[in-house]
Structure 1
Amino acid sequence: MRRILVIGSPGAGKTTLARRIAEALDLPLVHLDREYWRPGWVKPSDEAWDRQADELAARPAWVMDGEYFDLSDRLITRATTIIWLDLPNWLCLYRALGRLTRHYRQERSDLAEGCPEYFNWDYVTFIRDIWKYPSRNRPGILARLRALRPDQECIILRSSHAVRELADGLPSTLPEAA
């Protein structure tokens, strides 16, 4: 079965691409942010999240979007295809701020119920994390992707144009399931 993991910085377009892939390939869609957060932006315990993540990863087929580095090894190991949206940090920041503006105080379908978009000091940290994503997260992602098995496909998209091309060509732009 196909298990497609879409990773990248916040604001890279993971959710949008994952949704298009899931629709095109008729696969179950899993938004990790929706699974992780509890109402009121409450984090689950590490044990509860590990158990839940194992259950999600064990499913026979999925398109999953999100980037939780504590999970990345188990999700990457289970994935048949990893799509990394390696877009410029300025673009991701612009998109994340635009999303905040469009959805301010509203709940989004890719987030848990009771988790509306809002701005506070945590969001300032979120913005900083987006800006530092290339220097802080990119080396670890590259190392994980270099360690993929031969039966795993890796697609790295470095521009909005490349993401659009892949999405517009679905399903033929993705490799067949093994």
Structure 2
Amino acid sequence: MERVLVIGPCGAGKSTLSTTLATKLGLPVYHMDQLNWKPGWVESSKEELHDKLAVIVATERWLIDGTYGGTLAARLSRADTVIYLDYPIALCVTRLLKRIWTYRGRSRPDMTEGCPERLDIGFLIYLIRWNSGPRLRTEARLRGHDAKVIRLRSPLDLQLWLGSI
């Protein structure tokens, strides 16, 4: 595992896993949220984000967390492994709400400084509807790529898998 993607719904634990896995594998870790967001919740342009990613994916070793469907193809083209946290949405919603409460009013470690955690109803609805939209698009994008996809369906599956590497 030299070029790894960690994907899945919001609140699945992608950034937490990425930090742990990057340390275990000695890989530099990049969080899509940090690459995409500027202070004050200002979103990067599509061109800016694609340019940042092009530099990273051209290198030989990296771990990138975040689904970000609009950039997934470029990352998949170079990834050798995809860790897909395919967790139940109820668990992800619970974790997201816990994260919002824990980091309320301040930026979490995997987010750009100046983007304080907050409750965003539109984002919560996006997560609740994950299985009927984003999940289908994500899985369609995964088809036909040579990267090894490791699908983990629960935190227990993740712990067992981490223990095996």
**Superposition TM-score tier, normalisation by shorter sequence:** over 0.9
Alignment partner, residue 138 of structure 2: 141
**Is the Cα contact below 8 Å between 1:20 and 1:167 reproduced in 2?**
no
Q: How does 1:96-115 map to 2 (within 5 A)?
A: 96-115=96-115
Alignment partner, residue 83 of structure 2: 83
Compute the displacement of 1:141 (Å). Answer: 2.0
Structure 1: distance between partners of 2:117 and 2:140? 33
Matching of residue 126 in structure 1 with residue 126 in structure 2: no
- 2:4 counterpart SS class: strand
Could you say what the CA RMSD is over the residues aligned between the two structures, in angstroms?
A: 1.3
**Is the Cα contact below 8 Å between 1:7 and 1:83 reproduced in 2?**
yes
Return 5+ residue gaps in structure 1 as ranges. Answer: 173-178
Structure 2: distance between partners of 1:14 and 1:62? 15
- 2:42 counterpart SS class: coil
Q: What is the TM-score normalised by the length of structure 1?
A: 0.88
- Between stretches 44-53 and 64-73, larger displacement belongs to 44-53
Alignment partner, residue 20 of structure 1: 20
Question: How many residue pairs get matched?
Answer: 165
Structure 2: distance between partners of 1:144 and 1:93? 24
**Is the Cα contact below 8 Å between 2:6 and 2:65 reproduced in 1?**
yes
Residues 71-115 of structure 1: per-residue CA shift (max 9 Å, x gap): 000111110000111111111000000000011011111001111
**Aligned-pair identity (%):** 36
Q: What is the TM-score normalised by the length of structure 2?
A: 0.95
Compute the displacement of 1:159 (Å). Answer: 1.0
Residues 115-143 of structure 1: per-residue CA shift (max 9 Å, x gap): 11123xxx100100111111112222222
